[in-house]
Structure 1
Amino acid sequence: MHRAGSSPSPPGVSGVPVSVDARTLTPWRAITAFGLVSLAADMVYEGARSVTGPLLATLGASALAVGLITGAGEAAALLLRLVSGPLADRTARYWALTIFGYGLTAVCVPLLAITPALGAAGLAVAGLLIVAERIGKAIRSPAKSALLASAAGQVGRGRGFAVHKALDQIGAFAGPLLIAALIAVFGTVSPALAFLAIPGAASMLLLVWLRRRFPEPETRHVSEISGHLPRRFYVFAAAVAFSTAGLVTFGLISYHASKTFSLAAVPILYAGAMAAGAVSALISGHSYDKWGARVLYALPALAAATPALALSGSTAAIITGTMLWGAAVGVQDSTVKALVADLVAAPRRATAYGVFAAIQGVAALAGGALAGGLYEHSIPLLAAILAVMQLIAAGLLAVSRA
């Protein structure tokens, strides 16, 4: 296993030098620019995600339907990367895939505003839009992560991914707060969702600006990206898959929280979780560059404690559990990606991100269905089963480090 921040990668995603002109950004500026794109985009989809459970409930969804829709969305966001990752490596169309994926998010989320007006069709249309937005995530993520890994490799991948995630989480924090404020003003969710078209347009403008100032990877021959991914990569992917399956979605958490909190308060709860995610990403990323993969044992620990608290009847426990959920997501979306980049050589990195996410996708779908079904029968049993899954995740993580 390579240690984080060991030998810096050259400028191209492929590891092949690219031509540089005066417009080319330095690594830290490129990381910051990617972070600002994610900040604006996260205001869009995390703002909507903060009210997904209550929105679906008002459209007539049961807890099982919420679990299935949100689980299917996360599965689509992860499974389809099995296609988009290798496609990015084979075609070197990193930027085209990144821009198209962000475009889907910018369009699909504001369209959720019309679903309450569609009557009986509203639930089906909302489900399709939620899944379509997650498909946009699947299309862009491997290509974007490969571009980001190239820049972060020159400054320490733990810190590079952590800074990007922290900026990302600022958007994830601001989006739900914006939604909460707009719901308080209008008294309904539709105008709030429609307003998200503005940060969506901003993310696309920032992305076009960044595209002109970040080196285009050189095209490689297919033979350069052939071969198997390392065994340790697959063991680590299995560990994170168990952890993902055992981490309840915020869709289910918000569905449960809406029985205790007002509709306007649920996005605020989500915003707090995103702030916790930003802090955990920065701490785990810095620690990763210093001490390596051992810091990732925090992930199953955080995930194991989440359901018993977040799905309880106590206001304080729900808040605490949601913050732990946000911290776990922060580690998953930053330090976990840094280790993937260190386990796999640059020409196969987008492919690795795609395979890794596909394995997580299977786990997300199974976990979403399991949590949604068990929620109706026994929350203590649900919490116990998910805790066992986190123990398995910790054991596999130990094997991946052996």
Structure 2
Amino acid sequence: MSSKSPFTLIILLGLVSLFSDFTYEGARSIIGPYLATLGVSATLVGFVAGLGEFLGYFLRFFSGYLTDRLRKYWAITFAGYFINLFSVPALYFAKTPFQAVSLILLERTGKALRTPARDTILSYATFKIGRGKGFGIHEAMDQIGAFLGPLMVAGILYFTKDYKTAFAGLLFPALLALFFLFLARKLFPSPEKFERTSPLSEGDSFSKGFWLYALAMGIYGAGYADFALISYHFKKIELFIGEEIALLYALAMAIDALSALIFGYLFDKKGILILIGAIGLSSLFAPFVFLGRKELAIWGIILWGIGFGAQESIIRAGVSYFVPPQMRGRGYGIFNALFGLFWFLGSTLLGILYDLSLPILVGTSIFLQLLSILLLIKVSKVSQFP
């Protein structure tokens, strides 16, 4: 394998994501119970989780436009990762709920800044080897970090029982992520050279298929409960203790990594049918995690991880089929902005429903995810989506 091949770039970006996910997913695994120790209510946890995802997605509209306008893919990616990564160990210094929430939102803002530029680079690199395969490999490596981060956090909590110490320990993987990002930039200063044309995306405007796809995935995101709310539920009813919750998140990330590889490979062969199947399967997580006992809750986390693997691999890969290269940054920005808006509204709604009725929360979650499948069927009829 040549050091200048697109596959090498995918691996380097995978290493960046591995250590960055090690950092912020390690923190994310304990955000719910951490906020609970500060006296935050379930409604506010749901709101903060939703607002964080909203910022993390909606601001990508602007960063995506900036990416296409400036075409400074690496500079924008570096700036976003710097904010994204160092907000996590900074939680060590937080003393009030306001300070903690501000850093949580800042971390999501950094992710919003860097993601369209990073995904545009990745879309160029995956052009020749297959979108599903390339994004699937990247997501699998990403989730290795998301698996290891919560494991380390669980270990720190086991020995120290201190959330702040866990946050401080995540500084080291943050530094490693920036190192591999620098190496990728040094070896591949012009990643756009890997792709000159797009076989399914021509012209200078977004197709009807793109907008339907974005709407379908937005509705799917609205019904997908954030782990902050799930972990809050586990903590509140004392179904699992702190380090067990972190281990459950690690389990979900391991399932995410495995499913991303499988889905990515199958997506290049079977297309939208794989995405529909993944959503249908993962839609069953809600009754297991919110209404089940320990054993069922664990199965629910596995299903939740399957859905998350689809979100971060083949759903992202699908965007590149609708958008020409010269509009790729804006395409990812608009898609993620809509996804974030729906995720925010859905997370807020699910947080409110949690305080009102768990069965209604579960029913709403399932309904929204299955509704997205109907829209995906429509997408397959009005576009060349494979």
The alignment's TM-score, normalised by the length of structure 1, stands at 0.90
In the alignment, is the contact (CA less than 8 A) between 1:243 and 1:299 conserved in 2? Answer: no
Structure 1 position 174 matched with structure 2 position 148 = yes
In the alignment, is the contact (CA less than 8 A) between 1:243 and 1:303 conserved in 2? Answer: no
Amino acid at match of 1:144: R
Within a 5 Å distance, the mapping from 1:179-194 to structure 2 comes to 179-194=153-168
Query: Which of 342, 351, 362 in structure 1 is aligned with 2:341?
Result: 362
| Match in the other structure for 2:126 | 152
In the alignment, is the contact (CA less than 8 A) between 1:166 and 1:279 conserved in 2? Answer: yes
Q: Secondary structure at the match of 2:154?
A: helix
Structure 1 position 227 matched with structure 2 position 197 = no
Runs of 5+ unmatched residues, structure 2 = 194-201, 382-386
In the alignment, is the contact (CA less than 8 A) between 2:121 and 2:192 conserved in 1? Answer: no
Structure 1 position 371 matched with structure 2 position 350 = yes
| Match in the other structure for 2:186 | 212
| Match in the other structure for 1:17 | none
Give the whole-Å Cα distance in 1 for the aligned partners of 2:278 and 2:19: 26
Give the whole-Å Cα distance in 2 for the aligned partners of 1:111 and 1:230: 42
| Match in the other structure for 1:334 | 313
In the alignment, is the contact (CA less than 8 A) between 1:105 and 1:200 conserved in 2? Answer: no
Within a 5 Å distance, the mapping from 1:342-357 to structure 2 comes to 342-357=321-336
Structure 1 position 87 matched with structure 2 position 75 = no
Give the whole-Å Cα distance in 2 for the aligned partners of 1:47 and 1:218: 32
> How far off its partner does 1:376 sit?
1.1
Amino acid at match of 1:216: S
Amino acid at match of 2:120: A
Amino acid at match of 1:284: F
> How far off its partner does 1:320 sit?
1.0
In the alignment, is the contact (CA less than 8 A) between 2:222 and 2:342 conserved in 1? Answer: yes
| Match in the other structure for 1:255 | 232
| Match in the other structure for 1:325 | 304
Give the whole-Å Cα distance in 2 for the aligned partners of 1:216 and 1:388: 44
| Match in the other structure for 2:384 | none
> How large is the RMSD of aligned CA atoms in angstroms?
1.5
Question: For each residue in 1:91-117, what CA deviation from the matched residue of structure 2 results, as whole angstroms up to 9, or x when unmatched?
Answer: 0011111111110122100011222xx
Q: Size of the alignment, in residue pairs?
A: 370
| Match in the other structure for 1:129 | 103
Q: Secondary structure at the match of 2:328?
A: helix
Give the whole-Å Cα distance in 2 for the aligned partners of 1:385 and 1:265: 27
> How far off its partner does 1:303 sit?
3.9
Question: For each residue in 1:32-73, what CA deviation from the matched residue of structure 2 results, as whole angstroms up to 9, or x when unmatched?
Answer: 110001000001000000001001101110000100001100
| Match in the other structure for 1:140 | 114
In the alignment, is the contact (CA less than 8 A) between 1:311 and 1:379 conserved in 2? Answer: yes
Q: Secondary structure at the match of 2:240?
A: coil
Give the whole-Å Cα distance in 1 for the aligned partners of 2:203 and 2:56: 25
Give the whole-Å Cα distance in 2 for the aligned partners of 1:199 and 1:217: 25
Amino acid at match of 1:235: L
> How far off its partner does 1:226 sit?
8.5
Give the whole-Å Cα distance in 2 for the aligned partners of 1:319 and 1:54: 18
Structure 1 position 275 matched with structure 2 position 254 = yes
In the alignment, is the contact (CA less than 8 A) between 2:124 and 2:191 conserved in 1? Answer: no
Q: Secondary structure at the match of 1:401?
A: helix
| Match in the other structure for 1:241 | 218
The alignment's TM-score, normalised by the length of structure 2, stands at 0.93
| Match in the other structure for 1:300 | 279
Query: Which of 39, 48, 57 in structure 1 is aligned with 2:18?
Result: 39
In the alignment, is the contact (CA less than 8 A) between 2:283 and 2:365 conserved in 1? Answer: yes
In the alignment, is the contact (CA less than 8 A) between 1:39 and 1:172 conserved in 2? Answer: yes
> How far off its partner does 1:300 sit?
2.7
> How far off its partner does 1:217 sit?
5.4
Give the whole-Å Cα distance in 1 for the aligned partners of 2:10 and 2:281: 27
When residues 263 and 218 of structure 1 are mapped into structure 2, their CA distance, relative to the original with a 3 A threshold, is closer
Q: Runs of 4 or more off by more than 6 Å in structure 1?
A: none
Q: Secondary structure at the match of 1:52?
A: helix
Structure 1 position 388 matched with structure 2 position 367 = yes
Give the whole-Å Cα distance in 1 for the aligned partners of 2:192 and 2:101: 39
Amino acid at match of 2:122: L
Give the whole-Å Cα distance in 2 for the aligned partners of 1:164 and 1:134: 20
In the alignment, is the contact (CA less than 8 A) between 2:87 and 2:103 conserved in 1? Answer: yes
Give the whole-Å Cα distance in 1 for the aligned partners of 2:282 and 2:50: 16
| Match in the other structure for 1:64 | 43
Which segment is superposed worse, 301-310 or 248-257? 301-310
| Match in the other structure for 1:30 | 9
> How far off its partner does 1:301 sit?
1.4
Give the whole-Å Cα distance in 2 for the aligned partners of 1:382 and 1:351: 34
> How far off its partner does 1:298 sit?
2.3
Question: For each residue in 1:158-196, what CA deviation from the matched residue of structure 2 results, as whole angstroms up to 9, or x when unmatched?
Answer: 100000100000000000000000111112111111010
Amino acid at match of 1:37: V
> How far off its partner does 1:228 sit?
2.0
Question: For each residue in 1:127-168, what CA deviation from the matched residue of structure 2 results, as whole angstroms up to 9, or x when unmatched?
Answer: 111111001110010000010111111111110000010000
Which segment is superposed worse, 363-372 or 306-315? 306-315
Structure 1 position 165 matched with structure 2 position 112 = no
Give the whole-Å Cα distance in 1 for the aligned partners of 2:10 and 2:357: 44
Amino acid at match of 2:119: S
Query: Which of 260, 274, 287 in structure 1 is aligned with 2:266?
Result: 287
